[in-house]
């Protein structure tokens, strides 16, 4: 006889389920109807609600936050802020677009740069710094900027899947599952590189000159500073070497690197702190508390056991692939990964982590709201007078996502 479905009788458990449902409805909708709340606000209020109903004490709620992930994410935000303040991203973009290349080759360089940078630095920061400069430079060369902007967004998402520091969900996966940095890189690099090549092949025919020149005003960006850029690159390179060659905890090593960069005679710490994505950090903390409360009730374990009794083993590659793809497009990739990590407990960590990382990241290219990087690029284009609506994005995003997921599925199968 299959196990019966979980039965909830405790009123406090019902309260936790209600809070959990409202929070993930907010993740799906991007906020709550008639309330001026975004995903971060919903997650924060959800965590407050969990403590208020008494399911978790303040101490238990704090214990539910995976601090190594939060610290690693914060540290790399500091490093990315250093690179942005040093003018690195803007200067690199100008130099790329100025190269004497035919447009299709230029597109390939943009894709390679965006993918490579996003594997080490935050893909959102890369897009935020590069997109306005890319629009201005393309218009200056009388090139339609839309294919280049779509390439920037898609390549930054794809490239970020290559490492355990490329995006927030990969950091979470790596820290919670205890994955080895080098082993993950060796496993993820082939499908990521193949996907970047495929992205170029799918977009290079859409690159075309504009019939007339269009003037635009370049967005303000920091002047290039050789020393500050060198410091940021040196710290990032040293950290990657530490991750590859030592067992030093990544969060501790990254904190040390961030601390070195904060010791600056030029950039005030408030400038660096002003570029930290505090909302993303609060989103992480809120979701950690809400998910921990649900697990505390026992509902999570009971549900997984019930699904297994029905023959659906969520931790197995096929079901995990499909559910990750579905949830990543419903509630966004970070909440999806948080929901699924407890499900893969007990499964081979490398295989489960690779599946979660590749699928949740590549799925972000499907729709314009699937990734913050997409929204950043579209918003930067709009401010420069270039309109990319959801239909135009979908004409590229949907086939790119399906094709790159096919590559990932074939690689995971092998």
Does residue 279 have a pLDDT over 60? yes
For 82, the token pair is 């250093």
Residue-level pLDDT at 182: 94
Does residue 2 have a pLDDT over 70? no
Summarize pLDDT for 339-382 with one digit per residue, the tens.
888 888 666 778 889 999 999 999 989 888 778 788 888 888 88
Does residue 214 have a pLDDT over 60? no
Q: Left if phi > 0, otherwise alpha if psi is -120 to 50, otherwise beta: which for 31?
A: left
Residue-level pLDDT at 51: 94
The secondary structure of residue 146, as a DSSP letter, is H
Q: Where are the alpha helices (DSSP H) in 161-225?
A: 168-177, 181-203
Summarize pLDDT for 108-123 with one digit per residue, the tens.
999 999 999 999 987 8
* Res. 159 pLDDT band, cuts 50 70 90: very high
Does residue 395 have a pLDDT over 80? yes
Q: What's the whole-number mean pLDDT along residues 308-335?
A: 79
Q: Residues near 353 by Cβ (< 8 Å), separated by ≥ 6?
A: 173, 174, 177, 179, 184, 344
Contact 228, 172 (CB under 8 A): no
3-class DSSP state for residue 209? strand
Burial profile 66-86: b = 16 or more Cβ within 10 angstroms, e = fewer? bebbbbbbbbbbbbbbbbbbb
Q: What's the whole-number mean pLDDT along residues 377-401?
A: 87
Q: What's the whole-number mean pLDDT along residues 98-105?
A: 90
* Res. 274 pLDDT band, cuts 50 70 90: confident
Q: What's the whole-number mean pLDDT along residues 55-76?
A: 91
- pLDDT > 90 fraction of the chain, expressed in percent and rounded: 41
* Res. 410 pLDDT band, cuts 50 70 90: very high
Summarize pLDDT for 315-326 with one digit per residue, the tens.
677 888 888 888
- With 0-12 / 13-18 / 19 or more C-beta atoms within 10 angstroms meaning exposed / middle / buried, residue 319 is middle
Which residues face 209 on adjacent strands? 143
Average pLDDT, the chain: 86
What is the DSSP code string of 217-282?
PPPP-PPP-HHHHHHHHHHHHHHHHHHHH--S-HHHHHHHHHHHHH--SSS-HHHHHTTS-HHHHH
Q: Which of residues 160 and 300 earns the better pLDDT score?
A: 160
* Res. 275 pLDDT band, cuts 50 70 90: confident
Does residue 242 have a pLDDT over 90? yes
Residue-level pLDDT at 192: 97
- With 0-12 / 13-18 / 19 or more C-beta atoms within 10 angstroms meaning exposed / middle / buried, residue 31 is middle
Does residue 218 have a pLDDT over 60? no
Q: Which of residues 411 and 264 earns the better pLDDT score?
A: 411
- With 0-12 / 13-18 / 19 or more C-beta atoms within 10 angstroms meaning exposed / middle / buried, residue 24 is buried
Does residue 39 have a pLDDT over 70? yes
* Res. 27 pLDDT band, cuts 50 70 90: confident
Does residue 199 have a pLDDT over 90? yes
Residue-level pLDDT at 6: 58
Instruction: Give CA–CA dist 331/69, Å, rounded.
Output: 20
Lowest-pLDDT range of 31-40, 138-147, 206-215? 206-215
Does residue 38 have a pLDDT over 60? yes
Q: Residues near 125 by Cβ (< 8 Å), separated by ≥ 6?
A: 77, 80, 81, 83, 84, 89, 275
Does residue 5 have a pLDDT over 60? no
Contact 169, 373 (CB under 8 A): no
Residue-level pLDDT at 220: 62
Beta carbons within 10 angstroms of residue 13's beta carbon: 19
């Amino acid at each position: 006889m299959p196990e019966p479905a979980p039965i909830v009788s405790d009123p406090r458990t019902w309260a936790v389920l209600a809070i959990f449902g409202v929070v993930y409805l907010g993740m799906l909708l991007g906020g709550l109807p008639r309330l001026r709340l975004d995903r971060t606000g919903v997650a924060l209020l959800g965590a407050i609600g969990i403590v208020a109903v008494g399911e978790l004490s303040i101490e238990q709620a704090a214990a539910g936050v995976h601090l190594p992930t939060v610290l690693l994410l914060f540290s790399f935000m500091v490093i990315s802020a250093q690179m942005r303040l040093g003018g690195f991203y803007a200067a690199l973009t100008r130099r790329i677009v100025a190269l004497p290349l035919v447009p299709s080759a230029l597109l390939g360089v943009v894709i390679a740069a965006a993918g490579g940078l996003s594997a080490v630095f935050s893909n959102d920061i890369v897009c935020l710094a590069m997109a306005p400069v890319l629009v201005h430079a393309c218009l200056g060369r009388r090139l339609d900027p839309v294919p280049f902007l779509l390439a920037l967004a898609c390549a930054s998402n794809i490239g970020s899947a290559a490492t355990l520091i490329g995006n927030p969900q990969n950091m979470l996966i790596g820290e919670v599952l205890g994955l080895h940095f080098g082993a993950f890189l060796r496993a993820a690099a082939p499908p990521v590189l193949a996907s970047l090549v495929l992205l170029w092949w799918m977009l290079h025919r859409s690159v075309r000159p504009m019939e007339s020149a269009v003037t635009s005003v370049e967005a303000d960006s920091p002047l290039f500073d050789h020393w500050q850029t060198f410091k940021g690159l040196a710290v990032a390179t040293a950290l990657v070497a530490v991750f590859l060659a030592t067992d030093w905890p990544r969060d501790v090593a990254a904190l040390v690197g961030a601390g070195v960069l904060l010791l600056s005679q030029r950039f005030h710490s408030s400038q660096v702190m002003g570029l930290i994505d505090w909302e993303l950090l609060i989103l992480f903390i809120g979701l950690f508390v809400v998910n921990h409360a649900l697990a505390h009730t026992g509902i999570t374990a009971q549900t997984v056991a019930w699904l297994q009794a029905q023959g659906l083993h969520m931790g197995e590659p096929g079901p995990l692939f499909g559910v990750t793809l579905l949830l990543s497009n419903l509630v966004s990739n970070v909440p999806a990964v948080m929901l699924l990590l407890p499900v893969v407990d007990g499964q081979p960590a490398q295989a489960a982590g690779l599946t979660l990382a590749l699928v949740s990241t590549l799925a972000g290219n499907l729709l314009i709201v699937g990734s913050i990087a997409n929204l950043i690029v579209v918003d930067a284009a709009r401010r420069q007078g270039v309109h990319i609506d959801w239909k135009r994005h979908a004409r590229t995003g949907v086939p790119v996502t399906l094709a790159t997921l096919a590559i990932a599925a074939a690689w995971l199968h092998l």
